[in-house]
Amino acid sequence: MLFSSQLTAQTSTYTISGRVVDGISEDPIDYATVMIMDNDSKEMITGVTTENLGKFSVDVKSKNVYIEVSFLGYETTSITEITFNNNIANVGIIKLGQNAQALDEVVVRAEKSQTEFKLDKRVFNVGQDLSSTGASALEVLNNVPSVNVNIEGSVTLRGSSGVQILINGKPSILTNEQGNALGTITADMIEKVEVITNPSAKYEAEGTAGIINIVLKKNEKKGLNGSVSLNTGFPQNHSLGLSLNKRTEKMNLFTQIGAGYKILPNAVENINKNFQTNTTLSSMGDEFRNENFYNFILGADYYFNPRNVMTISGSYAYEIEDQPSETNYSLVDDAGTLIQQWKREEVTSALNPKLQYELQYKSDFKDDKDHMLLFSAIGSYFGKAQSSEFKNTVIFGDDDDFNDQLTSTTFNEGKYTFNLDYTKPFNEKWTLEAGSQYLINNVSNDYSVSNEEDGKFVQDAGLTNVFNYDQKVLGVYGTGSYEGQKWGVKLGLRAENTDLKTLLVNTNVTNDRNFTNFFPSLHTSYKITEGISMQAGYSRRIFRPSLWSLNPFFNIRNNFNVRTGNPNLLPEFSDSYEVGGIIILEKASLNLTAYRRNTTDVVEYFSSFENNVNTSKPYNIGTRKSTGLEFNFKYDVSKIITLNGDANYFTFTREGRFEESDFNYQADQWSTKLTTKYKVNKSFDVEVIGQYQSKEETVQGVVSDNLFADMGLRYKLMKGKAVINLSVRDVFASRIRENFTEQVGFSVYSRQQRGRFISLGFSYGFGKGEAMQYSGSRRR
């Protein structure tokens, strides 16, 4: 990391090598700083950082030198006696003693999250944010600039869906929309979140709004380290987690074990108005997703030598679901006279096994630390075996057509991802990247519905089928970049072939598609001064219809408001442009970005109405052109108060035609977020986050605006080894999602509210492990 311009010309080159280890455990210390100092001037000549296994080697032009070795949390050590033999000096093993005071200072400095700006992305380094303490990845994402997570757990970027979520740069079962497993990633496991609004050609082209890459921590502290945590909350949310890590000279072994139970309530209200019959059907009730969950992660890094490492890891999760619900229905005429009233009760149980395994091999070349070849193979499986019983009880009116129902679902999904990436720096300015990716996704969804007839359950052929989904995507890419002291540019091209096959087994209806597309990208940056930079970028993206957008079958929890898929959906394509400026001041950082996104074949859910039943189904409806402005800032008001702000405003034009009706309109939308962090003293912190999301106009209606707040408190014990934390999400229980749809002949109103969540946790770190929080999964 450290290089000096004060090298003097000499005719001979001298090599100094050695190894840096912990003074107590004698475990190697990677990334320690080794500085070569001039004996006369006491100034630094050059410097390096230790590689794997704590080794270092450095060339100098003079023998009149001494060494200073330092690392965070350790005392600096000097080596003054260096003996050269044939211009080579091996100083042997250098032992560093721990510095307890420095360790305390590091803990304090590491608490704040911060945003970095790269050539083609923004990096949100996750600190110990209090509102996310003991929380899942969904809560962490909701604190990231430009990202919003709604009450249902859907993630948007700059107000747009179609986001590709990656784990460590790769697709994962944890981001699968059916698995709802992002909650199994907890805040303490996340090192940083990369927000890539204009991805380069290196990344998979999926996701018209951009990419969110969640980078997990890899705890490689030497010796045996770990953390244990206990959490409880209301509504019921109890978990116990244990993290362990063992690092030896050749191997790093890591594991995490967790178990818990949680309840996720959802208050739901729907009002369907039929203007042709002048009747109104209202439903109101509480839905629950109760869950026992068990998670196990095991992995190992094996270092063949300092430049070659292989990683093998696997994770297994098992969830036992219980989904009770009770919904009360009433049907009234135009005068408000009650026609019918009944109650629908649901008893659902499900078993959800999840499995993922990964093999990764990384080889670093000797000529340059960034010259590397990386191969990875990931396999994952998600299964669901679910059965539901729906019982209807008539309270008033005619009891015809109110039969009880049974449903059964057997779901199996396998995903396989293979990546090969090569990076070659030609010098400090020019770099070439090339690689390929092959994705395989196989799904079988066996769904059946049976209706009670004369005391027996008879299968409903119109709602029963097996849906098979088979998608393969082959991608190849190449990028070239130049990065000078002031100006940088990165140009890339990616080609992807998609082979998609769907089959409705019972009816033998197929829909096979094969298409190849090209996705160029261009990014550039210019540094005006040390504190002011400009950036610009362009990329083309695709959003392929997901499994559940294509699957024509649905859950009949509320059989008067159903959502179904469309096997004939086409992919969306978007062209994205942006330009922005970054200003870094002593106490503040500012970022202002203007952007434009043009999207074709936009997927929109369209509501149809028949016999008081509202059916929502996706279709490709025209184009959408969005123009927006985004502003982020961070300001250190004082040593104890920090403000982080994020604001996004955009206007869009929708043009489309569906079923002889035009859907042409213009609208705007905006959101803002403000985080205030207050350090009461060295051990006690408070954090408050306020968010506002304006109303959103859709092709058929409006989604209402939203104002809500989260807060957190944390108290550290035993010099940070133990932590007590309290978090409250949706402090004022104001986070409500309302949707209004009004068309000729009918109107539909829906309302959902999760309510306030309170979590109290205690965690303790042992060895060199830090206190971490584990909260298990959160259902979407």
Spatial separation of the C-alpha atoms in residues 644 and 642, rounded to whole Å: 7
Decide if pLDDT at 719 tops 80.
Answer: no
Per-residue pLDDT band at 134 (split at 50, 70, 90): very low
For residue 80, pLDDT beyond 70? yes
Q: Tell me what pLDDT residue 777 has.
A: 38
Is pLDDT of 108 > 60? no
> Average pLDDT, stretch 99-107?
39
Give the DSSP H/E element, type plus range, for residue 625.
Answer: strand 623-636
Going from the C-alpha of 88 to that of each of 39, 43, 50, 67, 93, the distances in angstroms are: 18, 22, 18, 15, 16
pLDDT of 222 > 60? The answer is no
Task: Look at residue 452 in the predicted model and tell me its pLDDT.
Answer: 92
Among 212-216, 438-442, 474-478, 765-769, name the one with the lowest average pLDDT: 765-769
Ranges assigned E (strand) in 307-337: 308-322, 325-332
Question: Mean of the pLDDT values across residues 30-56?
Answer: 83
From 254-258, 334-338, 500-504, 604-608, the region with the lowest mean pLDDT:
254-258
Kindly list the domain boundaries of the chain, sorted by start residue: 14-101, 223-553+561-678+685-766
Length of the chain: 780
% pLDDT > 90, the chain: 41
- Determine the average pLDDT of the residues in 319-345: 94
Query: Which residue pairs, CB below 8 angstroms and at least 24 apart, start in 393-402?
Result: 393/342, 393/343, 393/344, 393/345, 394/340, 394/341, 394/342, 395/341, 395/342, 395/343, 396/338, 396/340, 396/341, 396/342, 397/331, 397/338, 397/339, 397/340, 397/341, 397/342, 398/340, 399/342, 402/342
Q: Tell me what the mean pLDDT of segment 308-321 comes to.
A: 90
Strand ranges, E, within 365-454: 372-396, 405-425, 430-453
Residue 175 has a pLDDT of 58
Looking at residue 104, its pLDDT comes to 35
pLDDT band at 113 (very low <50, low <70, confident <90, very high): very low
pLDDT band at 278 (very low <50, low <70, confident <90, very high): very high
> Which has more pLDDT, 197 or 19?
19
As separate numbers, helices (DSSP H) first and strands (DSSP E) second, the chain gives 3, 47
Least confident of 113-117, 192-196, 382-386: 113-117
CATH of domain 223-553+561-678+685-766: 2.40.170.20
pLDDT category of residue 187 using cuts at 50, 70 and 90: low
Contact 223, 198 (CB under 8 A): no
Residue range 703-707: mean pLDDT, rounded: 94
- Residue 178 has a pLDDT of 42
Task: Please state, in angstroms and rounded to a whole number, the distance separating the CA atoms of residues 206 and 208.
Answer: 7
- 715 vs 771: CA distance, rounded Å: 12
Note the pLDDT of residue 66. Answer: 92
pLDDT category at 138 given cuts 50, 70, 90 is low
Higher pLDDT, 714 or 471: 471
Q: pLDDT digit string (tens) for 560-594?
A: 888 888 988 999 999 999 999 988 888 888 889 99
**pLDDT band at residue 182 under the 50/70/90 scheme:** low
Report the distance separating Cα 28 and Cα 32, nearest Å. 10
Is 779's pLDDT higher than 50?
A: no
| pLDDT computed for residue 491 by the predictor | 95
pLDDT above 90 for 652: yes
Residue 39 phi, psi dihedral angles, 5° rounding: -65, -30
> 550 by DSSP, 3-state: which?
helix
Q: Which CATH number fits domain 14-101: 2.60.40.740, 2.60.40.1120, 2.40.50.100, 3.40.50.970?
A: 2.60.40.1120
The whole-number average pLDDT for the span 504-531 is 91
Q: Are 43 and 1 in contact (CB under 8 A)?
A: no
Kindly state the DSSP code that residue 207 receives in the 8-state scheme. -
What is the pLDDT confidence band of residue 139, given thresholds at 50, 70 and 90? low
Q: Which residue(s) pair with 264 in the sheet? A: 289
* pLDDT, tens only, 256-269: 888 999 998 999 99
Q: How would you classify residue 92: left for phi > 0, otherwise alpha for psi between -120 and 50, otherwise beta?
A: left
Q: Are strands 338-364 and 325-332 parallel, antiparallel or unpaired?
A: antiparallel
Confidence (pLDDT) at 463: 85
Name which of 58-72, 219-233, 556-570, 585-599 the model is least confident about: 219-233
Of residues 144 and 623, more confidence is placed in 623
Between the alpha carbon of residue 151 and those of residues 30, 155, 652, 739, 755, the distances in Å are 43, 10, 24, 13, 10
Which stretch, 175-184, 392-401, 429-438, 542-551, has highest mean pLDDT? Answer: 429-438
When mean pLDDT is compared across 186-200, 362-376, 469-483, 693-707, the lowest value belongs to 186-200
Question: Is 90 exceeded by the pLDDT of residue 703?
Answer: yes
Helices (H), 284-389: none
Would you give the distance in Å from CA 424 to the centre of its chain? 29
Asked if residues 96 and 29 have their Cβ atoms less than 8 Å apart, the reply is yes
Residue 109 — pLDDT band, cuts 50, 70, 90? very low
CA 360 and chain centroid, separation:
21
Average pLDDT over residues 348-361: 92
Average pLDDT over residues 741-758: 92
* pLDDT value at residue 709: 94
Distance CA 117, CA 523 (A): 13
Mean pLDDT, the chain, whole residue set:
83
In terms of Cα–Cα distance, which of 648, 644, 509, 683 is closest to 108?
A: 683
- In DSSP notation, 66-88 reads EEEEE-TTB--EEE-----BTTE
Question: What pLDDT sits at residue 131?
Answer: 45
pLDDT at 333: 95
CB atoms near residue 490 (< 10 Å):
22
Q: How far is the C-alpha of 601 from the C-alpha of 543, rounded, in Å?
A: 10
Residue 598 pLDDT greater than 70, yes or no: yes
Rounded Cα–Cα distance for residues 541 and 162 (Å): 10
Nearest to 417 by CA among 442, 443, 437, 434: 437
Spatial separation of the C-alpha atoms in residues 656 and 645, rounded to whole Å: 35
